[in-house]
Amino acid sequence: MKFLSLVFSNLKRKKLRTVLTVLSIFVAFVLFGTLCIIKEAFTGGISMAGADRLMVMHKMSIIQSLPISYTDRIANLPGVAAITHLSWFGGYYKDPKNFLASFPVNPDTYFAMFPEFTVPPEQMAAWKAKRNGVIVGKGLFDRYAKSDGWKIGSVIPVNSPIWRREGDNETWEFEIVGVYDVTKKGADNTQFLFHYDYFDEGRTLSKGEIGWFSVRVKDPDRAPDIAAAIDKEFANSAYETKAQTEAAAMQGFASQVGDIGTILTAVLSAVFFTILLVAGNTMGQAVRERTEEIGVLKAMGFTNGLVLFLVLAESTVIALIGGLLGLTVAKLIALAGSPVPEMLPIFNFSDRDLITGLILVIVLGIIAGIIPALQAMRLQIAVALRR
Amino acid sequence: MNYLSQIFSIALFNLRTIPQRTGSSITAAIGIAGVVAVLVGVLSIAEGFKKAMTSAGSPDVAIVLRKGSTDEMSSGISREQTRIIADAPGIARNAAGPITSAELFVIISLPKISTGTDANVPMRGVEPGAFDVRGTIKLLQGRRIEPGKNEIMVGAGAASSFAGLELGKTLEIGQNKWEVVGIFSANGGLAESEIWTDAGVLQPAYKRGTTFQSVYARLASPGAFQQFSDAVTKDPQLEVKTERLSDFYASQSDMLSNFITTIGTFIAGMMALGALFGALNTMYGAISTRTREIATLRALGFGSGPVVISVLVESLALALIGGTLGAALAYIAFNGMQTSTMNWQTFSQVTFAFAVTPALLLQAIIWASILGLLGGLFPAIRAARLPIASALRET
């Protein structure tokens, strides 16, 4: 530690160069953070998936519905612990741009299936009692509380381009009775949940059908077997099913959006390669300029190892200043929230990515400094002083 | 020596000495090449997607949907209504009658070749009129589907992105079997992502009774849209809305192409900032190692203007080399690359090719030049301002 002041005075020697290098590393890590956030936004569902949950949908595609009478047949299969169902409502508030992740659900079983969502007990009781009651996610609620004055007791008109009501009415009305919060960071807090019964009685088509089932299995290790058993139960019926783990379903959804992972990795690699070159080159220049001084240091008795350490410390300090600043700004971007909540509700810079970022900062510092550091270490005193 | 020849000789001298600073010069050029490649690469996704959406819709084709629905998936139109629509004024006619096609749009699950995971592939039930309505359908292999038969023809994009769609193969969807009888192109348009079959065969397979979701109609002329639109939207038996196909697809593509453009510009902007710092560093470095040379030149009577300009020339040259390299790289790597993504309105797959257009390449070169000029400007001014006497003393 006693050589730290030496490292810092070296950094101060060409202030402009140090500042520019720090800034370019800063930019690299803001980018790194942003890409992590975007990747998480696209694939967030996968890491949030419950290991003991299956999704059961129509074999042809998710837009086909299943009869609600399947509920008991699935519940009675061995290894099944619980079951609930969801349907795609596709509603929007006032304008198609204000898309809502809206689902008619069974109020008795829905929240038991998804313990990552929590509702205050009195609100839960109010919801179960109110036929047209709706529980909304905190993220969604806060957004419209600000812009449209949503509060508990507000009646919200929702249009669904898919589901028309009897009497040719396109608008459904829901009363907000509760707000759910999430216990897992990054879980979806923008859902709009209401009674299936209210929905099923009101709609004109497909009565008695639901979108897909969510099934809890007793033993997560046996999930694939149970999925196969469910599919076998309904094979060759009018409504064949496809059961898969929640993670597999989310993975499938994410990979449909595109080869995001590949594209992001490619972009990231390009960025890092570039920044590495810039930082490494700057370090090299800084050491070359100081050949004589390093010679003097060595003549004074600084060991080769110490010289190596000093140069590496210098590049690591530069990387740390820029990298930490960059990661902080990325975290702030995540906290500011998603700019497209309708499309990507989850906006989170996860701790795992933050740690990866920190490791990358240190690796970048060491790799950028290693060549000039080795050069400095191998420099012979006589050669250095002769220059 | 006059001003111009001063600039010329110093600039030439600078450029000739670049090889002595290979390392840092290459760094600056590669930094800029990276920025340009990323910018062009990401924006070519948005371009390709837009191209697929816009070349699908021509202004003389109208689409009719149920009032209130925002896409085909959520729409519904009865057989009787489709007949009334077909008889509306403003529709082009041929020997077979009005050129319209009542269609059914569903999605099926097929494994994506690139990832092996299931994807929602759009499947469209059409009437024979569909080919005349679109006007851009060209068979690449095989033949057209025949009405009433369990046959499908597959868009070229879908055929190359999803498994099991080769000519002659049989596809099982639910309890039905369909034979692939043709592969078609649609001028790069959206239909290339789709699988087509006869609407009458698709209805029972998806339990749709005799209903359809949309009616496509070729207009007698682009100007006939108003007449057609007034007739169908005012008819109390219909309760429908109509749009030009070009407007319809443009609004469908808005969300995704805006998103890609925003993200792409942000990433490229940040990278440009990073590269700018890199370029500044390189040029400051180049100046500081040559402090004495520059001072000597100034002492010999060269003006400070030519010194500034010569440094800018060097930096611009490096940026242009980098920019060209990056643009070429992006073109080789990305142009025509086939990919698919989700159309958020219908949750179905759209296949399209990355499009590196000449306009994008030009944009890239312009960006590179701006980076080069900015990166060289401050170091150049600094070089010109150095007091000669102290600069000569510097080591």
ipTM of the complex: 0.71
Q: What angle do CA A40, A45, A48 make, to 5 degrees?
A: 100
A328 confidence band (pLDDT: 50, 70, 90): very high
A3 confidence band (pLDDT: 50, 70, 90): confident
Is 70 exceeded by the pLDDT of residue A140? yes
The pair phi, psi for residue B149, each rounded to 5°, is: -105, 150
Cβ–Cβ gap B267/A267 under 8 Å: yes
Average the pLDDT over each of A100-109, A377-386, B135-144, B220-229 and give the range with the smallest value. Answer: A377-386
Judged by CB atoms within 8 Å, which residues 42-81 of B form the interface with A?
A: 42, 45, 68-71, 73-75
Q: Using CB atoms, which residue from B109, B114, B341 is nearest to A257?
A: B341
Q: What is the pLDDT of residue B152?
A: 94
Q: What is the pLDDT of residue A372?
A: 83
Is 90 exceeded by the pLDDT of residue A42? no
Cβ–Cβ gap B340/A23 under 8 Å: no
Higher pLDDT, B189 or A33: A33
Q: What is the pLDDT of residue A83?
A: 95
Q: What is the pLDDT of residue B102?
A: 93
Cβ–Cβ gap A256/B114 under 8 Å: no
Q: What is the pLDDT of residue A229?
A: 93
Residues of chain B whose pLDDT is less than 50? none
Q: Is B15 exposed, middle or buried (0-12, 13-18, 19+ CB in 10 A)?
A: middle
Amino acid letter, A235? A
Q: What is the pLDDT of residue A111?
A: 93
**CB of A127 within 8 A of CB of A107?**
yes
Distance (Å, rounded) from C-alpha B294 to C-alpha B10?
Answer: 9
**CB of A262 within 8 A of CB of A42?**
no
Cβ–Cβ gap A278/B27 under 8 Å: yes
A227 confidence band (pLDDT: 50, 70, 90): very high
Instruction: Calculate how close chain A gets to B120, using CA atoms only, in Å.
Output: 7
Cβ–Cβ gap A278/B277 under 8 Å: yes
Average pLDDT, chain A: 86
Chain A residues within 8 A of B52 when measuring between CB atoms = none
Q: What is the mean pLDDT of residues A38-66?
A: 81
DSSP per position, A60-126: S-TTS-EETTHHHHHHTSTTEEEEEEE-----BSSSTTSB-EEEEE-TTTHHHH-TTEE--HHHHHH
Is 90 exceeded by the pLDDT of residue A180? yes
* Most B CBs within 10 Å, among A32, A164, A257, A281, to test the B interface: A281
Nearest CA among A359, A363, A361, A351 for reference residue A37: A351
Nearest CA among A62, A30, A32, A37 for reference residue A340: A37
> What is the DSSP secondary structure assignment for residue A222, as one 8-state letter?
G
Distance (Å, rounded) from C-alpha B184 to C-alpha B142?
Answer: 9
Chain A contact for B176 (CB, 8 A cutoff) = no
Minimal Cα distance from A164: which residue of B? B68
Q: What is the pLDDT of residue A85?
A: 95
**CB of A100 within 8 A of CB of A91?**
yes
Chain A contact for B344 (CB, 8 A cutoff) = yes
Instruction: Calculate how close chain B gets to A359, using CA atoms only, in Å.
Output: 20
Q: What is the pLDDT of residue B134?
A: 87
Nearest CA among A57, A98, A22 for reference residue B273: A22
Distance (Å, rounded) from C-alpha A307 to C-alpha B335?
Answer: 49
Judged by CB atoms within 8 Å, which residues 239-258 of B form the interface with A?
A: 255
* Most A CBs within 10 Å, among B171, B175, B267, to test the A interface: B267
Q: What is the pLDDT of residues A170-179, one digit of tens each?
A: 789 999 999 9
Tell me how far CA of residue B241 lies from CA of A47, A94, B63, B244, in angstroms.
42, 18, 8, 11
